[in-house]
Structure 1
Amino acid sequence: MIMIVKLILAHILGDFLLQPNSWVKAKEEKKGFAWQLYAHVSIHGLLSLLFLYDINSWRLIVSITFSHLVIDYIKLKFQTEDSKIIWFISDQILHLTAIFLLVAYWQNSEKELFAFLLSDSFIILATAALFLTKPVSIILGVLTKPWSEAIVNEKEKSLRYAGKYIGFIERLLVFVFICTNHFEAVGFLLASKSVFRFGDLKESKERKLTEYILIGTLLSFGIAILVGLLTQYLLKI
């Protein structure tokens, strides 16, 4: 486990702290022809070697360095100005996944890793977490459609996709709080959201908007709580 932590630390340093913005812009403009891409990947390799400090792990280090190059190249080749956020998230997930899989492979522990990924507990948690993202957003959209159409002009004043991502985050937080038996944190989260929303609702003086937000919030929190409780139950049986 400490090996994975060290490699993640190397990844954080290489991807965020030791990569100038000028390198990022150069990579986006020149893509695979940018020398900054290969310098960036080389730094990752050196950091991995430094933190592991074990020449016997050279095959693991080379594998992770090469995977970083491939993932970054794919991102640069296919991302557009509108898809940068999606590609950034996907890029980071792929890098971390590569670290886990390659460490498991070179440490001959891939059986344990895949056993965990195929375990009942992981499948239950992953299914619940994924359900609370876009599927629940679609469900809420259908349930609140009669009211959302009535306040379409008000909704256009908000940031693009902001409500969707806020919903994702709040439901996942509620899910984590329920699964870890911190029910008081759910109340704190709901109260915090109410405080931030109070000013907007007060200024709008729009009863329809207030009612719409309350319905959406209560449905979102309610579904997240029910999914969290159901997950707890399934994990115990």
Structure 2
Amino acid sequence: MILFIKLLLAHLLGDFIWQPNSWVADKETKKHKSVYLYVHILLHGVLAAILAGEISFIPYAVLIAVTHGIVDLIKLNFQKAKTKRTWFVVDQIAHVLILIGVVLLYQNKTIVNFWSDNEFWILITGIILVTKPSSIFIKTIISIWSPENQISQKDNSLASAGNYIGILERLLVVCFILTAHFEAIGFLLAAKSIFRFGDLKEAKDRKLTEYVMIGTLISFGIAIIAGLLVQALLLQLP
């Protein structure tokens, strides 16, 4: 289990945290001719090898890197503007299944890890999951309903403020769950609703209101599920 969590953390870092938008754009334009595609593949292999913390895992890290590149190439060559969301989901599912397969191949081997604090790996993976990866996931899912014409008419907010607010609220939700303060989640949701009420009332647009509500509920839902999973994994530790 802990090996899979480490590999999942490597995937989150390589696919979301340390992959700038400029790399993504370059890959989508040049596909297999993009230098950043191969840098991205190498990064995944290196991260997997480092986080596994065992020399004998290096061939498996190479396997992860190669298969990651193959999946990315398939997505880059087959996705269209209308199917980007679908390919994003398929791509991520494929990567996770590959990680599971690698763990199953390696499960009969003993990993003597110099980073043996299992609580740390579970916590850091949960934290990373509810930051940028969740933001990208939410944005991808709700983009089909995005009322862009309403948002663009009046945009006086700080740059990327909504993104950072979402990340902070999810981190707080996870923190509240791990410290057994579930009532604070309701307080946080109520506080956000109060601050949002003015904007939604002024907009007088039902679609914008529904868009904000969907995004908020998905964000809180992801955070709650992540927090409960982290809590359950921590309770299973000896």
Alignment TM-score, normalising by the size of structure 2:
0.48
Alignment TM-score, normalising by the size of structure 1:
0.48
Determine which structure has more spread, i.e. the larger CA radius of gyration.
1
